[in-house]
């Protein structure tokens, strides 16, 4: 009886999301996890246009390092970041006592950090705002992406009365990944996200005591919030000229974009301090002067007051 109930709920949500977004979705019962999963059909990238352009290469479910480094393909602005498809969430999982809504694969930020600054990073090093402020002069456009992502995500969630305390962020390891995690004040909502794979977002909430209509309404409210985020971040910010200027004006090694010299620095957090660890015998990492990173003035005005 419970399985049949969840099937009806899943099908209702599937139809609502299709009507709302214009995306194609399927609803299936997962035998191993014993839950209903509504999934968006994965679009194919890149999309070839009649005039020979290829759109959305950065959204490919592929190892972008091989595309941009091994095959020596320069990043193409704005085409690599233009998504011609309608956007919505990737999946909705209906479990026994909770539901989870997720988005995936908006931008592999670690690849951009390596391409433009020869610095790789993991999320714990940039968990807190103070950490990111310390990294502004090392990977400025990457930090800009993160701050814009957080602002748009927070605004989109709050528009639909979904509130999380972004000043209190913890780390949780799951399936080999370290997620940044924050919760609602009462603990009934959990938000997980990544920086190195920016746009991997998971919202989980309790469905205990909810009737069918309440489950559908609460799922759709979160679907609409994350779709709003994606429209602003994925469709507007990622291919924008402003963003391109942030990266191109701080391109550290344009003469060696494919790392023929193959060196990297690793951004780490040691004893509360952001440090850059060398991975080969090269000169110290370059620190950008403030006049080169004024595009971060809105996010970190205190840097210019010192």
Domain boundaries, the chain: 2-304
Which pLDDT value is given to residue 122?
87
Phi, psi (rounded to 5 degrees) for 12: -65, -45
Q: What is the pTM of this model?
A: 0.92
Compute the distance between CA of residue 282 and CA of residue 297 in angstroms, rounded to an integer: 30
For residue 64, the model assigns a pLDDT of 58
**94-118 burial, b if ≥16 CB within 10 A, otherwise e?**
bbeebbbbbbbbbbbbbbbbbbbbb
* Residue of 65, 62, 54, 61 whose CA lies nearest to 257: 65
127 contacts 146 by C-beta, under 8 angstroms: no
- What pLDDT, on a 0 to 100 scale, did the predictor assign at position 71? 61
- Residue 47 near residue 59 (C-beta atoms within 8 A): no
For residue 2, what pLDDT is reported?
75
pLDDT score recorded for residue 4: 85
3-state DSSP call for residue 246? helix
Confirm if 159 and 231 have CB atoms less than 8 A apart. no
Residues 166, 173: Cα–Cα separation, whole Å = 18
Mean pLDDT by 10 residues, the chain (306 residues): 84 97 94 90 94 92 61 84 96 95 92 86 92 95 98 97 92 88 89 95 95 97 98 98 97 70 64 66 76 97 88
């Amino acid at each position: 009886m419970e399985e049949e109930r969840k099937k009806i709920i899943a099908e209702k949500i599937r139809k609502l999301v299709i009507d709302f977004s214009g995306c194609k979705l399927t609803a299936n019962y997962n035998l191993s996890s014993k839950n209903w999963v509504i999934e968006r059909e994965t679009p194919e990238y890149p999309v070839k246009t009649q005039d020979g352009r290829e759109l959305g290469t950065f959204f490919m479910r592929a190892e972008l390092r091989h595309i941009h480094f091994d095959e020596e393909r320069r990043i193409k602005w704005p085409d690599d970041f233009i998504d011609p498809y309608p956007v919505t969430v990737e999946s909705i999982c209906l479990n026994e006592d909770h539901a989870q809504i997720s988005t995936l694969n908006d931008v592999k930020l670690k690849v951009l950090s390596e391409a433009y600054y020869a610095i790789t990073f993991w999320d714990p090093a940039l968990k807190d705002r103070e950490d990111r402020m310390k990294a502004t002069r090392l990977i400025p456009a990457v930090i800009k992406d993160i701050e814009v992502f957080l602002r748009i995500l927070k605004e989109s969630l709050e528009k639909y009365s979904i509130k999380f305390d972004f000043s209190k962020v913890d780390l949780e390891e799951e399936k080999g990944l370290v997620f940044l995690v924050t919760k609602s004040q009462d603990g009934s909502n959990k938000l997980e996200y990544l920086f190195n794979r920016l746009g991997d977002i998971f919202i989980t909430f309790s469905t205990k005591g909810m009737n069918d209509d309440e489950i559908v309404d609460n799922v759709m409210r979160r679907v609409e919030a994350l779709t709003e985020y994606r429209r602003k971040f994925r469709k507007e910010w990622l291919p924008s000229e402003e963003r391109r200027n942030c990266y191109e004006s701080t391109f550290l090694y344009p003469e060696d974009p494919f790392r023929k010299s193959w060196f990297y620095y690793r951004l780490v957090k040691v004893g509360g301090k952001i440090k850059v660890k060398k991975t080969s015998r090269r000169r110290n990492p370059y620190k950008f002067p403030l006049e080169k990173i004024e595009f971060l003035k809105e996010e970190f005005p205190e840097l210019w007051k010192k």
